[in-house]
């Protein structure tokens, strides 16, 4: 059967309405295209968080702040994030942005390392940035950003040595089988020794923990913190997610000074808490902005070592102590002082 073309003779008013509708639709289409990440003219960047979410007072939050600054400064046209509810969602969440044409996809935390590497293989048109994700393998579309845990631990150890009254300080870390955890706590030991070789640093690793409780064994962390307190330790440093936070909570309850890592522990434990001396973190926001700038210039390496920062010291400590930390941090960054900690456990 042949189809017949139906011709409609439009009056002038009808033609005017159609023209106006057409213009309106073209305008809508233009607006949609202006944020279309598949367009070469639109640069899009996204964040996939781990299960801590974007308001984690740590790496996720700082990464998102870096993306917001990048957009404000005109480096990025469109930014979005997805908060992962379950670890099984990681690859699905990454794939959402890759399939929608996002130019840069940032994943946060060592727990997403494997998913980021696999996604880089599956979606070669996107560039993946793994925050705090040391990779054994390289990919042309994968940027691995790590932070010098040995320097962060060293700074914490030096600070602990400066404020201890009992001459006993302690560190609680996840298993030493994870190189980053080993660098944190051995860096802490080295920092204490740098200030005063007579101060004893007691470092305890979660060596016999279950793999299912990796980074989430708060009970072990809490009990280990109590053990250190009973031994006379009056400053505790901890690293290793919820495992480390368990130790910090035990110390705070016992009115012992604590030094945090990975997140702003004063905010996590409660803003009114007066026992958090500071938290030592990677300068994630800065790294995000710098990486995006370099990517747009087409000049970036596959591996980057990020900078270190610390939260403002608790006000009960003198400003001169902050000045000492600033000098020490600068000396660590420019190589005048070295922690002496190897990149991997021997």
Residue 25 lies in a domain: no
Number of domain units in the chain: 2
The answer to whether position 21 is within a domain reads: no
Residues 154, 117 share a domain: no
One domain for residues 159 and 241: yes
pLDDT computed for residue 72 by the predictor: 97
CATH number for the domain harbouring residue 276? 3.40.50.2300
Q: Are residues 142 and 211 in the same domain?
A: no
Whether residues 68 and 214 share a domain: the answer is no
Q: Are residues 78 and 186 in the same domain?
A: no
- Which residues are bridge partners to 45 per DSSP? 79, 104
What is the layout of strands, in order, in the sheet containing 235-239?
Answer: 200-205, 168-173, 235-239, 257-261, 276-282, 308-310
The residue range of the domain holding 158 is 149-281+315-333
Given this model, what pLDDT does residue 272 score? 57
One digit per residue, the tens of pLDDT, for the chain of length 346 reads 333 333 333 333 434 433 333 333 433 333 333 479 999 999 999 999 999 999 998 999 999 999 999 999 999 999 999 999 999 999 999 999 999 999 999 999 888 999 999 999 999 999 999 998 888 899 999 999 999 999 999 999 999 999 999 999 999 999 999 898 999 999 999 999 999 999 999 999 999 988 888 888 999 999 999 999 999 999 999 999 889 999 999 999 999 999 999 889 999 988 657 899 999 999 999 999 999 999 999 877 778 888 899 999 999 999 999 999 999 999 999 999 999 999 889 8
Note whether 182 and 343 are within 8 A (CB). Answer: no
Rounded CA gap, 49 and 63, in Å? 9
Q: Choose the final residue of a domain: 113, 146, 179.
A: 146
Indicate whether 235 belongs to any domain.
yes
Location of structure tokens 């989430």: 216
What global pTM score does this model have? 0.81
Asked if the structure places residue 29 within a domain, the reply is no
Instruction: Give CA–CA dist 61/59, Å, rounded.
Output: 6
Residue 304 belongs to some domain of the structure: no
């Amino acid at each position: 059967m042949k189809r017949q073309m139906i011709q409609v003779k439009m009056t002038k008013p009808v033609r005017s309405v159609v023209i106006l509708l057409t213009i309106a639709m073209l305008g809508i289409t233009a607006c949609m295209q202006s944020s279309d990440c598949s367009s070469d003219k639109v640069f899009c960047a996204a964040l996939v968080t781990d299960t801590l979410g974007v308001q984690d007072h740590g790496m996720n939050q700082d990464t998102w702040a870096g993306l917001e600054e990048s957009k404000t400064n005109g480096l990025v046209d469109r930014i979005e994030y997805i908060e992962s509810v379950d670890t099984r969602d990681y690859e699905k969440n990454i794939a959402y942005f890759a399939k929608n044409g996002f130019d840069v996809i940032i994943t946060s935390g060592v727990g997403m390392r494997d998913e980021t590497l696999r996604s880089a293989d599956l979606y070669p048109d996107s560039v993946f940035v793994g925050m705090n994700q040391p990779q054994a393998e390289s990919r042309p579309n994968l940027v691995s950003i790590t932070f010098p845990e040995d320097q962060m631990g060293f700074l914490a150890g030096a600070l602990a040595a400066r404020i201890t009254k009992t001459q006993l300080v302690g560190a609680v870390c996840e298993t030493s089988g994870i190189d980053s955890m080993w660098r944190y706590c051995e860096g802490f030991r080295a920092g204490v020794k740098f200030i005063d070789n007579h101060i004893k640093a007691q470092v305890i690793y979660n060596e016999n923990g279950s793999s299912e409780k990796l980074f989430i064994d708060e009970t072990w962390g809490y009990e280990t913190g109590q053990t250190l307190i009973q031994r006379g330790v009056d400053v505790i440093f901890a690293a290793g997610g919820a495992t480390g936070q368990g130790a910090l909570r035990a110390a705070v309850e016992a009115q012992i000074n604590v030094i945090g890592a990975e997140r702003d522990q004063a905010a996590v434990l409660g803003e009114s808490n007066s026992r958090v001396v500071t938290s030592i973190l990677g300068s994630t926001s800065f790294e995000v902005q710098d990486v995006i700038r370099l990517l747009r210039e087409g000049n970036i390496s596959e591996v980057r070592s990020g900078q270190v920062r610390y939260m403002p010291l608790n006000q009960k400590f003198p400003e001169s102590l902050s000045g000492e930390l600033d000098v020490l941090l600068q000396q660590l960054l420019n190589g005048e002082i070295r922690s002496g900690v190897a990149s991997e456990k021997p």
